[in-house]
Amino acid sequence: MGLSDEAVERIKQMLIDGELKPGEKLPVEKDLATRLGVSRNSLREAVRALTTIRVLQTRQGDGTYVTSLSPELLLDTMSFVVDLHHDATVMQFLEVRRLLEPEAAALAAGSIDDSALAELGELLAEGEQLARAAEVDHERMVRNDVAFHGLIGRACGNPVLATVVESMSGATTRARVWRGITQENAASRTVAEHRAIYTALSNRDPNRSRLYAAVHVAGVEDWLRAVL
């Protein structure tokens, strides 16, 4: 382990132990380096690394602060890692979606409010309109699909789960566009499955919400497995 890695680990331990708290300013560089037993250069590298993953935030002319450390903020960096993966691993992301999204939908059935349901209904109506077009705009169709699932994730009441689900969903976007182009009636099938999920959520039915969400993701997964 390099010295900068050591500094990262020691700052992490300070956060775990409560010596540093969300929103708190770090001690001046010289004092913190002495406290951690590392050089100031190693400390600067550690601060840069922790800033990249949004644990720390440097404010010009003011100093370095601990961020809010909210799950959404920290897990947002996952999307960068996900974007680096190519089609060879998309099946694995779909498998994760199939494990997580049904549970998010089941949780959402018990917590989604009328405003979110209304927004979900608008997305469903837009999707149905896109699917009926003489020539389906598959890019727009997938954007609608991503928005639909993102809203359900945010409604589940667990921001950690919502962020992970959204990251996994982003990794399968290209596959979903290709499915829409190559599979007959893919757009119509998508909106029909969305309609089933929406109805189950409207009825506050967690079991059916879970079931229809699983069927929806499994459809994309089955198609991809067949073409691969």
Say which residues have a Cβ less than 8 Å from residue 38's Cβ, sequence separation at least 6.
Answer: 3, 4, 6, 7, 10, 46
- In degrees and rounded to multiples of 5, residue 54 shows phi and psi of 65, 30
Tell me, what's the pLDDT at 7?
Answer: 86
Core vs surface per residue 150-164: b (16+ CB within 10 A) or e: bbbbbbbebeebbbb
Tell me, what's the pLDDT at 214?
Answer: 94
Say if 3-69 and 74-227 have the same CATH topology.
Answer: no
**Continuous segment of H or E residues that includes residue 21:** none
pTM above 0.85, yes or no: no
Please tell me the CATH code under which domain 3-69 is placed: 1.10.10.10
Report the pLDDT averaged over residues 54-76: 80
What is 74-227's CATH superfamily? GntR ligand-binding domain-like (1.20.120.530)
Query: What type of residue sits at position 69?
Result: L
Taking CA 75 as the corner, what is the angle to CA 61 and CA 38, rounded to the nearest 5 degrees?
A: 50
> In which residue are the tokens 């331990």 written?
13
Q: Which of 11-15, 169-173, 193-197, 204-208 has the lowest mean pLDDT?
A: 169-173
Tell me which long-range contacts 213-216 makes (C-beta under 8 A, separation of at least 24): 213/101, 213/102, 213/104, 213/105, 213/106, 213/152, 214/98, 214/101, 214/102, 216/101, 216/190
State how far the Cα of 148 lies from the Cα of 132, in Å rounded to an integer.
18
Helix axes 114-132, 186-202, angle to 10 degrees: 160
Report the pLDDT averaged over residues 176-195: 82
Question: Exposed, middle or buried by CB within 10 Å (0-12, 13-18, 19+), for 86?
Answer: exposed
Helix ranges (DSSP H) in 57-205? 71-75, 78-83, 90-111, 114-132, 138-155, 159-171, 173-182, 186-202
Q: Which of 147-156, 175-184, 200-209 has the lowest mean pLDDT?
A: 175-184
72 has a pLDDT exceeding 50 = yes
**Domain ranges across the chain:** 3-69, 74-227
Q: What is the mean pLDDT of the chain?
A: 85
> Helices (H), strands (E): how many in the chain?
12, 2
Structure tokens that stand for 227 in this block: 């073409």
